[in-house]
């Protein structure tokens, strides 16, 4: 598949600070790519570099086969949607949508037609005469997206566009943004610190840390086969548990560094006696022996959400266990835990790399 946006060995320095390191990324036309990672990881810098708002220090950045390293933003034909809606408060929705067309000298009749078409795409046909102050947060964000769509750019760049919205509206807007992407067949690059947004919206997720791409691929590929401990802990909610362990004599099992922990079968062949970090997702732990051999723990805290329950265990290392529905367990209760077969992740304690081939 031919790349529409391609970065090869891209570096970005701010003085002595190395913000982006050896970035290689290929984005095919029509793909929805999420750049995700903790604050300061370089995801917004990468997005702004694609847009031309930041100039890369070295490497090659191409759009549709043309190297654009020195091309100004206005000539790259990319549209950005920011965290801030940046709407003109004195203008109607119609005028906000068509402002860029007006600057290009597009006729009033053609601007009106374009506004009506885009309003239909974003579901604001009946609000074209309203001012931004008369709109909800979600409607304002849709106007900001419509303003980008009306330009018919080569790609859309989203810089944490939903972070100003409340939790319920963010969930709804996730669906709307993805549906909009599919409807117009756009190429989208989406920055977020929220891995749930990345997992639910993107075709391809890029996980960054300290300016480095730690892993990239389909969302479930990152969830099921994390390349290292950082990705394993970042992708998935709640986060993965990590417990020190030792590979058993068979090389096909591991024993947790926890009182009463049995040998746990693994799909990884490692050297007997090797120290490892064992990754256990909360949803792959079960109360009782439903997954096989169990081990005893004591409950330290219980959090009920209605649809699910979070159990925290006593001692170090603390484990988090998720169960469906509600639970009658309380702090201090003694329970047994078992681990789902084939759901044990092993990492090198020094490098953090996965031991899975």
pLDDT tens digits, residue range 31-64?
999 999 999 999 999 999 999 999 999 999 999 9
> What is the rounded distance in angstroms from the CA atom of residue 10 to the CA atom of residue 62?
11
Positions of CATH 3.40.50.300 in the chain: 3-234
pLDDT value of position 152: 84
Q: Tokens 């996730």: give the residue.
A: 174
Report residues of the chain scoring pLDDT below 70.
Answer: 1
> What is the rounded distance in angstroms from the CA atom of residue 20 to the CA atom of residue 142?
31
> What is the rounded distance in angstroms from the CA atom of residue 296 to the CA atom of residue 262?
10
| The CATH number of the domain covering residues in 241-347 | 2.40.50.140
Q: Is 186 helix (H, G, I), strand (E, B) or coil?
A: coil
- E strand spans, the chain: 3-14, 17-28, 32-36, 58-63, 66-67, 78-81, 155-159, 188-192, 204-209, 212-217, 241-247, 253-256, 263-265, 275-280, 285-287, 294-304, 308-313, 320-324, 334-339, 345-347
107-148 tens-digit pLDDT: 999 999 999 988 888 888 899 999 999 998 888 888 988 888
pLDDT value of position 31: 96
pLDDT value of position 1: 58
Q: Supply the DSSP symbol for 240.
A: P
Positions of CATH 2.40.50.140 in the chain: 241-347
Contacts of 201 (CB under 8 A, 6+ apart): 32, 34, 174, 177, 178, 190
CATH superfamily of 3-234: P-loop containing nucleotide triphosphate hydrolases (3.40.50.300)
User: Taking the mean position of all CA atoms in its chain, how far away is CA 197?
Assistant: 5
């Amino acid at each position: 598949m031919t790349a529409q946006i391609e970065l090869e060995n891209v570096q970005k320095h701010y003085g002595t600070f190395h913000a982006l390191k050896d970035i290689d990324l290929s984005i095919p036309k029509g793909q929805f790519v999420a750049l995700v990672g903790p604050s300061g990881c370089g995801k917004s810098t990468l997005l702004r570099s694609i847009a031309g708002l930041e100039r890369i220090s070295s490497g090659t950045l191409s759009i549709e086969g043309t190297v654009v390293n020195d091309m100004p933003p206005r000539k790259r034909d990319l549209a950005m949607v920011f965290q801030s809606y940046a709407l003109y408060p004195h203008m109607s929705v119609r005028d906000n949508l068509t402002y860029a067309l007006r600057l290009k000298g597009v006729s009033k009749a053609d601007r009106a037609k374009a506004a009506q078409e885009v309003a239909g795409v974003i579901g604001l046909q009946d609000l074209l005469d309203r001012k931004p102050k008369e709109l909800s947060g979600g409607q304002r964000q849709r106007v900001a997206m419509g303003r980008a769509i009306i330009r018919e750019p080569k790609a859309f760049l989203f810089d944490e566009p939903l972070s100003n919205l409340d939790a319920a509206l963010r969930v709804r807007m996730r669906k709307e943004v993805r549906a909009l992407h599919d409807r117009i067949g756009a190429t989208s690059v989406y920055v977020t610190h929220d891995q749930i947004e990345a997992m639910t919206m993107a075709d391809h997720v890029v996980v960054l840390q300290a300016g480095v791409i730690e892993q990239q691929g389909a969302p479930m590929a990152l969830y099921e086969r994390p390349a290292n401990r950082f990705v394993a802990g970042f992708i998935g909610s709640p986060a993965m548990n990590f417990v020190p362990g030792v590979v058993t004599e068979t090389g096909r099992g591991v024993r947790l560094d926890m009182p009463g922990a049995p040998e746990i079968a693994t799909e990884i062949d490692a050297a007997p006696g090797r120290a490892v970090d064992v990754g256990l997702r909360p949803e792959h732990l079960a109360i009782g022996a439903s997954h096989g051999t169990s081990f005893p723990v004591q409950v330290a805290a219980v959090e009920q959400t209605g649809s699910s329950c979070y159990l925290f265990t006593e001692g170090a290392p603390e484990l988090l266990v998720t169960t469906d529905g509600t639970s009658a367990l309380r702090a201090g209760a003694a329970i047994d835990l078992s681990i789902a077969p084939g759901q044990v992740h092993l990492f090198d304690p020094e490098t953090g790399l996965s031991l899975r081939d």
